[in-house]
Amino acid sequence: MYPKGFENGTADDHKLENNATKAVRHTSFDHGITFTDKPVNINERIHLKIVEVDETRQWCGSLAIGFTQVDPNTIRQEDLPKSALPNLSPTNKFSYVKRLYETLTKQLCIIFYYNPDGAYFILDGREQDISKAIDFKKPLWAVIDIYGNVKAVTFTTPPKTTDDGKSLFAKYPQKPDKLPIRYFTHLKPENFQPVTFSNVHGPELELYCEYKVALRKRLQKLVRPYLFINFPMAPGDELYIRILSIDPNYRTPGIFGFTNVRPSAFTDKLETLPANDPAALVDRKEYWLLREEPFDETLSELDEYRILFDRTSGEILLCRNNDTVSQPRILTFADLNQTFYPFLFLNGRITALSVFGLIAQNVLVTDANPTTSLTSRTDVNDEDDDSDRCTICYDAKATCVLIPCGHMIFCTKCKVDYESRSAKICPKCRAEYEQAIEVEAD
């Protein structure tokens, strides 16, 4: 389906490009009406992609879409109005047009169509009305009014989306959690703290690959698509995630957040969290930090992101694809005396992602030898048995058992030093401990 453009009679504002598949409004904010070059069939879905928006934000209003019984070939360009609304057709013809007042972003795809029940468009995964009463027995042409902050659109083919686990696994040549690192190639997997998504998540989500891959199911309504990382970030930590699938029909990518509440606290209690919009989380008694639209319009499949908790400023920063030119995006500021579980509210373009590692400061890496730490790999002779050593100094025996997690972490001196400068968080599992009981060293 290709659009047919018309001269407006006022200026050469409106041009067609790319074999008439792209319509561009070059100046002003109106005179951007265009049509399909042939009538649209019943239930034929038109996929319209926004490819250029006005970055100056000087224009209000946005795209209008719909259908008209007016044959575009019978309209003289001097008779075309500046805007499709309130009415672009003569009084004895009918048009069904709706202005989309929502903020529309670059790369957004909008679907619209008609059937015997009316004309509809799909945005943010929801079907919405253009008009409930239409005369579908006569030919209908699609009409697009490139108006306001939208400057250029193109017709596109239906995007390939992942509706279920089968389609996600078929999308890539290997398991999604085993894809090679493309951008942060300096990272060494052996330095990663194993990390997964929490099994406490929204009913709209499914987890795969030992909880390292999350997929949002295709549903008509998203209520609580909460997705938690099952390990808290401390100052200096770096979390790495990969985008596996996006749905361009959504205007926003989703919401990123951080909380000091362990996800397991919401086992069988997820309904106590806000539905539809997590903004109300900040009114709860716990510590919640939110960032709407954490990712920009460049968000693409296979993008890799680093989330860094800066140990000096308290900034939590987002870096895309190891970009050394652009400044990292500041997600939020956090208390340096606490640790935070990252989470996403997947109500936007991101439909599947994986978590592929965490570089954690002063945390034991649970690999084949679960008592070997990042520090001990370079500072301790591999032939020594250090499983009973203090994980801070590696000189004295560990003599303090943390309650309730049970890890024996510190010697007496290091326990005092640690508690004087940090919250009571186990350096191994990051759980809060109530007390450290000293036991007699062998």
CATH number of the domain to which 432 belongs: 3.30.40.10
Which pair of tokens denotes residue 424?
């009571």
Tell me if 33 is assigned to some domain: yes
Nearest to 122 by CA among 253, 251, 257: 251
How many separate domains does the chain show? Answer: 3
Instruction: Give the number of C-alpha atoms closer than 13 A to the C-alpha of residue 187, restricted to the C-beta side.
Output: 23
CB atoms near residue 395 (< 10 Å): 10
Q: What is the pLDDT of residues 108-162, one digit of tens each?
A: 999 999 999 999 999 988 899 999 888 888 999 999 988 888 888 998 888 777 7
pLDDT average, residue stretch 34-49 = 91
pLDDT > 70? residue 8 = no
Same domain, 209 and 347: yes
Same domain, 200 and 343: yes
Tell me if 371 is assigned to some domain: no
Give me the residues paired with residue 410 across strands.
400
Same domain, 424 and 329: no
Same domain, 329 and 235: yes
Domain end point (choices 334, 359, 384): 359
Tell me if 80 is assigned to some domain: yes
Same domain, 385 and 331: no
Q: How far apart are the C-alpha atoms of 331 and 325, rounded to whole Å?
A: 18
Model confidence at 3, pLDDT cuts 50, 70, 90, reads very low
Same domain, 296 and 342: yes
Q: CATH number for the domain including 37?
A: 2.60.120.920
C-beta separation of 301 from 307 below 8 A: no
Same domain, 128 and 274: no
Q: What are the helix (H) ranges across 87-235?
A: 165-171
Tell me which H or E stretch contains 414. Answer: helix 412-421
Same domain, 51 and 120: yes
Q: How far apart are the C-alpha atoms of 355 and 153, rounded to whole Å?
A: 34
C-beta separation of 306 from 233 below 8 A: no
Domain end point (choices 128, 155, 182): 155
Q: What is the pLDDT of residues 225-272, one digit of tens each?
A: 999 999 999 999 999 999 999 999 998 899 999 999 999 999 999 999
Tell me if 160 is assigned to some domain: no
Same domain, 133 and 104: yes
Q: What is the three-class DSSP state of 282?
A: helix
CB atoms near residue 160 (< 10 Å): 9
Q: What is the pLDDT of residues 338-383, one digit of tens each?
A: 999 999 999 999 999 999 989 987 655 444 333 333 333 233 233 3
Same domain, 266 and 318: yes
Tell me if 414 is assigned to some domain: yes
Which domain covers residue 27, as residue numbers? 3-155
Same domain, 259 and 389: no
Model pTM score: 0.75
C-beta separation of 130 from 98 below 8 A: yes
Give me the residues paired with residue 111 across strands.
47, 122
Same domain, 75 and 130: yes
Tell me if 294 is assigned to some domain: yes
CB atoms near residue 46 (< 10 Å): 20
Nearest to 240 by CA among 164, 180, 161: 180
Domain end point (choices 298, 331, 359): 359
CA distances from 247 to 126, 290, 337, 349, 353 (A): 12, 22, 38, 5, 12
